Structure formats: structure tokens, C-alpha cells
Structure 1
């Protein structure tokens, strides 16, 4: 009798375990089905271009690229999300055979079929302008060059940058609310770009800002934080370095002079950089009017304004950005260039005045 009771109790204990295991299995299966469905939706969105942003990106397909390399390049540039899926799409449809090397302006919301069609047509289009923007151009100069090349009207481009909501870019959202002349001066990254003739200012701006976001990566952000600087301060200082010095080999030394002054505000409250005065004279007053000179002097003129100007004064290149973050370590507080472009550095005002005499300027 005791043995029978024992067997019954054992059977009663086993039944709930079986039910619990069944529930766990059902949950796991449901999770797998749900995960598969979600993944399937992602693949469909990538394949069809549905629910994707419509940013335009210049994609360069090198000569001799394989199907896998093309898929990888498209994924790296943000045109597709699933390079393996795209690769097998090309294989199954035979589309990879007719793809041509070149530089293409593609949108991130294009379907696989549209991408293949564009890459098959070739990039030698008559309505594409390739424009190179040297380091150190002002925003007005960049806008004028766009208009000269037939891309978009200068004033429309400037107005878009000054007024559009571009807070999807972290570096724009982080900008202080101040009275700088052009909100995005310094953030239109100098490089070579392909544009459509008559392209909308919004997509032109996206090309520049996407490139800036690519250059100012996490490494730069980490270094800026280590230096106790915001990204806007880095770009502002880099723009002054760029305008003062066109030689990458000297940029770290010039940066060191400015950092020494910024780190000793009691003795050197002002940067005293001539290029900030030139920016007011050449880039602001001809458009804002001479009656605004006093106002902008208080913001940009580093003989009047303490520390950095209110914002960048030109578009710095990567060398200047790195120089702003990695200044040379020295004890100089002054510099000047002679007639041959040689940089002369000094620790004291007396030494600086002697350099001026020696430079013959």
C-alpha cells in the first residue's frame, strides 16, 4: 500500500514538469517565428526600399569589382543593409554581369532592382558635375562654386543651411544657440563630390553633412572630450588654423600657439588672429552691411573677443581638425610668416617684434 501511494505521488510530481516543458517549447518556437518574421520584414524593406530614408550618396565602384565587393561597397555607403542578400539577388537574377564601374549618385531608399538598373546604365551622365572644394573655403565661396558649376543657386543653398531643421545630425543638434553669421559655416566638409545639375539644395547639403559626419567619427569625439572641447570648438579652432596655415606640416605648431593662449587666459585672453578680422571684412560686411561691424567684431574679432570666435570662419580639412586636437607641445605664444611663407615663432612679445622686423613686413 505504501509503495502504491509512492508511485501515485511520483506520477503527480511528473505531470506539471511535462506541462512546463511544453510551455517553454511553445514560447521558444513562437519567439523563433517572431524573430524570423521581423528579419523577413527587414529584408523586404531593404529589397524594396520601403521605409528607408531618402539620403543621396555618391558611391564609387572600382574597375574589376566582384559582385561581393560591389555588395559590400553598397552596404558600407548605406545604400543597402543586407549585402549577402543583395549579392544572391544579383546571382539569381543574373544582374551582376552588366554592372559597370564608375561614380554613382544613389539613394538609400532605392529598391534592389533600381540599384541594379542604375549600375547597369553606367555613370557617364551629362547632367552630373564633379566639383572639388579646397580646404579653407568659406561657406559663401562654396555656395558660389556650386552655382558656378550649375548645381544649385548660391542663395538658395545658404538659405537652406541657415533655416532647415537638420537636427538629425548630432553635430548640428549640439550647436549652441548664438548669433554666428552662418549656422553651418565650417561644417561643409571640403572634398570632391558628384552632383546632379539643378539638384535640390537639401540633397546637396546632405552630401556635405554626411561626409562631415563620416570624418568626425568616434575617435575624434573621444579625443575632443579628452581635451575638454566640444566638436564646435574643435571645428572653430581648426578653421582658424586652416585659414592661418596652408601647410599641414606646420599646423600642429600653429595649433600649439593657440592652445597655449587658450590655456592661459589670465595672461593671453585674446588669440589675436588676423584671419578672424578678414572673415568679418570679406565674408560678413559685404552682405550684412557695414553698420553690423561692431556687432560682429564682438563675436568674431579675436583682437576684441576673448578666446575662440563665436563659430568657424571657413571649412577646415582633416589635417586642420587633427591639428586642433593634437597640438605640438612648446612654449610659443606668437607666430608670424615671412615673405617666403616661413613660420617664425616666439615666446615673448619682444621676440615676436624682433621676428616681425626680421621678416621685413
Structure 2
């Protein structure tokens, strides 16, 4: 009898061991075998997420077959505390081991949607919403709008549903501090009030990725710190014979250069014109300074300058005042600041638009008048077409 009981016990134990081995093999296959995703997908680990919450959401998203097996595998690997919040791209067929490596790696997030907000000189901005196909990697723009025109449903729905999105902020060179502040205030993905307009010229243009809810005041403070550093570095490497004596004057001249040309190769030549004029005691006679005196840097003029404005006395009217105006007229980038303190060596004292987006430069008034005549002819031809 006891032999029979022992034999039965051994048989039962063998069955248990076989079942355990089968379960272990099944679990191993689940962990290392091909995953269920037929195409790549994006997954967010939220700040403070538990292993149970992440595993259940991975199963709901179709990235793994079993939340329980995933948890067992994570614990067996002693990785329970390694989850890193962020947005991740999980490729097609990724097994559980790969998924674990992805959601514990940290580093830059991957997003399906990107909202790129470009500030404009009108004091607002344009938001461009794009989507990346996780299967092909191709990026397609699906909406583009200015906030004052209304928010399209494609963007509104994503925001309402809380879909993770990468926000990119582009603040180009040549905007005034008022334009930057008002552009930031219009952005729905930023938070915080701005009590005072920062000092003109002291905001470094930038392209930066931000999180939804980023504070406007902190962004402005970072831009100010960056501009201070740029100005200090560039001033240390200035040419010795320039007719400006302080970093503040360099910033003023750089802002004028920035507003006068959008062609990178021309900055040094434009700087040389103003440097030569200052050295010769000539007035700078540049329209952007007059416009700043009319608008105070708020918005855009939206029309040509009147003769009365060209003759009008404001602190910034360089047709009337000698030398530099008292403040910058915009926020220049590093390249314009470098041009201001290291101008090209030329004899140019005049320049005018040439119809290509650039300028024609001249050393004599006669040459300049000929260039102006050509530009007037181009303007007349364009207005007739």
C-alpha cells in the first residue's frame, strides 16, 4: 500500500514538475518571443507610474500579450524600480525584453505628434502640427494655424484627449521684446504671466523643445541669460579698431544689422557700411530705426514710411540723430553681434535692395544712386504685374 501511495506521489510530483516546466517555457517564450505589435506604436510612461499600471497599459495598447507575465519578468530581472517617465516608440514585433529596455532607458522622448510654434513680428505666432507615421517614419503636416484665426479640430482634439505631444518653440532673430512676449502669451501650451517686457535686445533668439505647461517667465529668463553670455563672449573677441566702445553699443548696432538683412553672408558687409559711416561722422540713415521710433517695437508698421516720419525727431530716427540710437531696436542673434564687432573690411558707405532679397553696395553716392534707380525700376515692374 505504501509503495502504491509513494508511486502515486512521485507521479504527481512529476506531473507538477512537467507543468511547471511547461509554464516556465511558455513564460520564456512570451518574454523572448516576437511581440504582438504589427506596426510600431508610441507609448507614454507617466511620471509616478507603477509597474502594474505600466504593464496593464502596455497590454491595453497591444504592445505585450500579458501584463502579468511582463511583471513577473521585470521582477525576475530586478528592474521594478527602473521605469523612466517619457514617451517611447515601440517597434513592431518587439518582445517583452525589448519593451522593458525601451521603457527603462530614459533619454529623449519619441512622439507621434509635434507642435512647432514659430513666433512672428506681428506679436503672435504660427503653430504647425505634424504627425510621424510610426510604421514608415514619414512626417506629414496635418494643420497650420495662427491662434487668432481659430484652433483647428485636429489640434483641439489631441489637446482635449491629452495625447502626448512634442512642443517646439522657434523664436527667430530680429523680433522685439514686445513681439516675443506677446507671441509667448498667445501660445496655449505655455503658462505663467509676464509682468514686464524684458530689456530690448537682451533676449537670445532660440529654437527649443519645451513641455506643455512650461513657464513663460522662466523661458524669458533663460533667453536673457543666454544673450548675456553671448554678448560677453563676442565682446571679448572684438576687433580693436571698431567705433563702438561698450557691449551695449555693440548690441544696438547688431540689432540694426539684424533688421537690415536676412542674408547671412551680408551681415559683415552691412556692418562695414555702418562702421564706415560712424568712423566718417555720417548719420546711419537706416529705415528700421525710424520704424522702431514710430511703433515703439510693438507689432509691425504695415506700410511704407512717410516723409514726415523720416524727418520726425525721435530718439531712434537715425536720419535726424548722430551716431547710434539709445537702445537696440530688436533682439539680434549671435551672428549679427559678431558682425557688429568684427565687420568686413570694405569702403562701402551705401547699400540698397537689389531685388533678389539681398543688397547692392556702393562706395560713392553716384554708384548708390544708380543702384537706387535699378531698385526703383524693379519695384515699378513688380507693381505693374
Match of 2:203 in 1: 188
**How does 1:301-312 map onto structure 2 within 5 Å?**
301-312=317-328
3-state SS of 2:237 partner? helix
Instruction: Please give the alpha-carbon distance, in whole angstroms, between the structure 1 residues aligned to 2:217 and 2:337.
Output: 25
Match of 1:139 in 2: 177
Shift of 1:280: 2.4
1:221 aligns to 2:259 (yes or no): no
| Matched residues, number | 223
1:128–1:143 distance in 2 versus 1, CA, 3 Å = farther
1:355 aligns to 2:355 (yes or no): no
Among 153, 160, 169, the alignment partner of 2:196 is 160
Instruction: Please give the alpha-carbon distance, in whole angstroms, between the structure 2 residues aligned to 1:344 and 1:122.
Output: 47
Match of 1:256 in 2: 272
Among 267, 271, 274, the alignment partner of 2:284 is 271
Structure 1, unmatched stretches of 5+, are 1-93, 103-116, 163-183, 288-292
3-state SS of 2:204 partner? coil
Structure 2, unmatched stretches of 5+, are 1-78, 88-103, 112-162, 301-308, 380-385
3-state SS of 2:352 partner? strand
| TM-score, structure 2 normalization | 0.50
Are the equivalent residues in 2 in contact too, given 1:151–1:195 (CA < 8 A)? no
Larger radius of gyration: 2
1:345–1:148 distance in 2 versus 1, CA, 3 Å = same
1:97–1:241 distance in 2 versus 1, CA, 3 Å = same
Shift of 1:264: 1.4
Among 304, 323, 328, the alignment partner of 2:339 is 323
3-state SS of 2:346 partner? coil
Structure whose residues are more often strand by fraction: 2
Instruction: Please give the alpha-carbon distance, in whole angstroms, between the structure 2 residues aligned to 1:206 and 1:278.
Output: 27
Match of 1:281 in 2: 294
Are the equivalent residues in 2 in contact too, given 1:160–1:202 (CA < 8 A)? no
Shift of 1:299: 1.1
Higher relative contact order (CA 8 A, sep 6+): 1
Among 204, 208, 211, the alignment partner of 2:219 is 204
3-state SS of 1:263 partner? helix
3-state SS of 2:169 partner? strand
Match of 2:251 in 1: 235
| TM-score, structure 1 normalization | 0.53
Instruction: Please give the alpha-carbon distance, in whole angstroms, between the structure 1 residues aligned to 2:80 and 2:266.
Output: 50
Shift of 1:247: 0.7
Structure whose residues are more often helix by fraction: 1
1:308–1:121 distance in 2 versus 1, CA, 3 Å = closer
